Chains A and B, each alone.
Chain A
């Protein structure tokens, strides 16, 4: 692989590139699903190829190919340079970047059980058993389970001399029970919706989830939601479970801190950001207890945003995003860091595959744990609603106004969960919401949730991101907004 990578860089330089970086990537994926006791998807995918990004005439070009021969990668590199020269026909300035050192390294994400080595029969047997547990519950009309495993090798080389090999193993698993009755469809997912939990881990992730114990619980809840009371519409106290808070972080912190959005590079599609440059170090983003980091280092945990180097050859870092409630940092790359006067990229360039250009992506954007025990948080709440497991999410294109709904809610009265609520939802304005946070649970309740389906870029790229969170409480929140009528 190094020979092909180096050869493409050489061709790019010969054709006039002032800078080039190249990724040869080999991606393997296994997808398993069941539905109502039968196998749904049973598939494996493999893809290998090379993508090269070049800077020529002061502008960028990128080309990719699956023809992994010296001739194939040479043609690809030459094409990238010709594209860069075409880009220069519509440039306003020459692209410049902050300096970065060359690195020569090899890294593998830690895992205990290679999911591709676990017998498929046992993987399917576990899913079918969980599926059967859910179907035992009266009122459940649809049961679904899934597992997804990925192994990604990437060989990164750049014209400044970096040569970095990384191997990542990613696992994901989840189950869902749906109940249709009357004029409502209700569902419950475990351990999270939209595919369950995903992590930079091996099959040990699946082992840890205890699917068979949780299957009947969520199935009972899905059926019970039909007789639950409707979530009220009011302004009040909200406690979010960890996975829902993880998505809240993703949408209302993670996306607005992407510096490409801030600088208008995503204006046509993903949108821009309310976090304009003058707000850095001046905006009170949240209350004093809100501390958020973007941490790609493996010591943060086995998140979907963990790696050793980003896809621009910059080492993984931990960046303060919100410190004691104050807005402190962006997600940047070498080009955007230069534009706003930073000394170094924060190392967040990531690509979905060899045929996609690396762009700024979230790494692990996590809320630091607080001090509360979960039980104490409930008992300290006189009147509130606890919501968990995301059902829908939406936020405006500058990331101010959001609305989320969850699969299930619980009314809290006098410090106790007193009854189940269906169709819970809440909404608000990002900074007002984070400033209303008055309690965050401790590290004991903190989980690094994986969001496997973050879409961004044109052509669209799907990326996995990590979000550490423990349950937290927010005051004076608009509740029940999804069903509000004027």
Chain B
């Protein structure tokens, strides 16, 4: 039975107290085989197919109650044809035979409309992958009722303390299979879970968040308690002058700032002269305490062990004790630079090439408490927000502090202060790191999750103050 026909018989049934399940992986493999069969029939020289299934649930709360509660379920098929130096991609979620055929024909038609590219690479053949186990049955089985009860407990804590809670509790599962006409076949599945909470005690607020592959690692009530305590501490915020301060960035704040560096390590970005690493590779750029790798296999990382073309991801040393050492390469970028592909390419065709998506910063042994104790005058930063690039080469970023900014004096947190705008070069900040905490799986709102330590940074530039 073809996947197209089976699809019509398959429905995702849900009932109270049970969670939906992903399709049997064989169904996704059947779709791959159907598309490759159709591609051959209609004369596609070569074809590549990605089949992705998501099953995501998100419970959202505000004003101490659930106000949005959503569930998403779907399968997407993405097809790329390659023939005579021409390639194009068509993506659809219509899985019947006629629709898949139409998608393949559309890809061929799109591809035929362009001039031939003599540099276009043939599809890669069969690859070997290192296995990763990132699927938690417990996470996949979480029900709307379980999420609602956890949210209720967090909201009850807020009510008890005269505060107002807002946040999300999400759980989900996904699987992806890719194959091509040259025998490549790759598959990956994972679960993911996230809890974030903002506790508001007028006029202040504070925030905590965790993201993991296993829901049991989140600790919603601990996060709620932490946000609640910090919100209470933040109530009487005073205004202090703008200027350069020592800052202690909690891991989420460090992530949302330095996370903006990731694309600069793409070989294509350097070749395009839009990376801050242009003419800076191999030269000391950051402090000697900064070492960064890209490592999808790190136990705190999630993600498939292969890239958009199916090339196995390699662990890459990007920065070694302050010196940018290596870039990541898609197959095309690698050929242009006479290097080996590192398994970081995006799905083709695209103009951006590749990027490291699993950054791991080396940490240190300084706890937040130790950083605070070592600070004569500085600021403890819970979260930063709306971060945008002001200067792409010096990597000057602007943004705001948010949800808990505290003054540290003579080794102690002495008061909350009004939020600042910063205009700060990431390059300079990473030259001024004085202390590092243990690296954890950090989750913010501006950058994707990375393994990141808290950082104490000197001379951080705050240029404006806001009204709260």
Contact = CB atoms under 8 A, between A and B. Distances in A.
Interface of A: 33-36, 38-49, 59-67, 69, 71-72, 75-76, 78-80, 82-87, 89-93, 119-121, 124, 128, 141-142, 144, 178, 180, 183-185, 263-269, 271, 274, 355-357, 359, 391-398, 400-401, 403, 405, 423, 425, 427, 429, 458-459, 478, 481-486
Given A268-B166, A268-B167, A185 B274 contact: yes
B106 interface: yes
B145 interface: yes
A42 B69 CA distance: 36
A486 B243 contact: yes
Interface in B378-422: 385-394, 396, 398-400, 402-403, 419, 421
Contacts of A484: 423, 463
B207 A66 contact: no
Contact of B114 (A42, A89, A355, A393): A42
A62 B70 contact: yes
A92 B63 contact: yes
B461 A485 contact: yes
Contact of A267 (B66, B205, B445): B205
Nearest to A141: B273
B385 A396 contact: yes
Interface residues of B, number: 107
Interface string B47-72: 00000000011111111111111111
10 contacts: A39-B115, A46-B91, A46-B103, A79-B20, A90-B151, A90-B155, A120-B114, A263-B63, A396-B421, A398-B468
A427 B421 contact: yes
Given A69-B8, A459-B70, A92 B423 contact: no
B333 interface: no
Contacts of B59: 86-87
B130 interface: no
B11 A71 contact: yes
B152 to A, nearest CB: 4
B423 A392 contact: no
B196 interface: yes
Interface stretch (B82-90, B283-291, B319-327): B82-90
A396 to B, nearest CB: 4
A405 B390 contact: yes
Given A62-B68, A180-B274, 11 more contacts: A42-B349, A45-B91, A84-B69, A87-B66, A90-B65, A92-B63, A267-B164, A269-B445, A356-B72, A401-B400, A481-B423
Interface in B111-155: 111, 113-115, 117, 143-145, 147-149, 151-152, 155
Please provide the 5 A-B residue pairs with the shortest distance between their CB atoms, ordered closest to farther: A40-B351, A86-B144, A401-B466, A180-B273, A120-B113
A297 to B, nearest CB: 28
A42 B388 contact: no
A328 B198 CA distance: 29
Contacts of A33: 351
Contact of A75 (B13, B272, B390): B13
A43 B88 contact: yes
Contacts of B463: 481, 484-486
A55 B94 CA distance: 29
A400 B467 contact: yes
Given A90-B155, A486-B463, A394 B93 contact: no
Contacts of A46: 90-94, 103
Nearest to A84: B69
A74 B403 CA distance: 42
Interface of B: 7-8, 10-16, 20, 56-76, 87-94, 103, 106-107, 109-111, 113-115, 117, 143-145, 147-149, 151-152, 155, 164, 166-168, 170, 196-198, 200, 205, 207, 242-244, 272-274, 278, 349-351, 385-394, 396, 398-400, 402-403, 419, 421, 423, 445, 461-468
A267 B158 CA distance: 14
B12 to A, nearest CB: 6
A142 B90 contact: no
Contacts of B207: 268
B418 to A, nearest CB: 10
Contact of B386 (A75, A183, A185, A395): A395
Contact of B421 (A41, A62, A355, A401): A401
B71 A64 contact: yes
Contacts of A396: 385-386, 400, 402, 419, 421, 466, 468
A482 B74 contact: no
B408 to A, nearest CB: 18
Contact of B89 (A43, A80, A269, A357): A43
A299 B349 CA distance: 39
Nearest to B155: A90
Contacts of B63: 92, 263-265
A65 B464 contact: no
A357 B244 CA distance: 43
A265 B13 CA distance: 30
Nearest to B389: A392
B213 to A, nearest CB: 18
A43 B349 contact: yes
* Most chain A beta-carbon contacts within 10 A, residue among B399, B465, B467: B467
A15 to B, nearest CB: 11
A396 B386 CA distance: 7
* Most chain A beta-carbon contacts within 10 A, residue among B56, B69, B93: B69
B220 to A, nearest CB: 12
Contacts of B387: 394
B71 A63 contact: yes
A43 B346 CA distance: 14
Nearest to A44: B90
Contacts of B243: 486
A121 B198 CA distance: 51
Contacts of A35: 272, 351
Contacts of A266: 62, 166
B123 to A, nearest CB: 16
Given A43-B90, A87-B69, A180 B278 contact: yes
Contacts of B168: 268-269, 458
A268 B196 CA distance: 8
Contacts of B76: 47
Nearest to B144: A86
Nearest to B279: A183
Contacts of B461: 485-486
B266 to A, nearest CB: 13
A227 to B, nearest CB: 16
B74 A64 contact: yes
A91 B164 CA distance: 13
A468 B7 CA distance: 46
A85 B144 CA distance: 9
Contact of A144 (B87, B167, B351): B351
A36 B336 CA distance: 15
A36 B273 CA distance: 12
Given A83-B144, A89-B145, A144-B351, A66 B272 contact: no
Given A180-B274, A264-B164, A92 B64 contact: yes
A72 B392 contact: no
A91 B59 CA distance: 12
Nearest to B73: A65
Nearest to A35: B351
A266 B61 CA distance: 9
Contacts of B74: 49, 64-66, 355
Contacts of A265: 62-63, 67-68, 166
A269 B196 CA distance: 9
Contacts of A49: 74, 93
Contacts of A75: 11-14
B267 to A, nearest CB: 14
Given A401-B400, A458-B168, A62 B71 contact: yes
A394 B170 CA distance: 27
Contact of A62 (B11, B69, B147): B69
A48 B12 contact: no
A429 B468 CA distance: 12
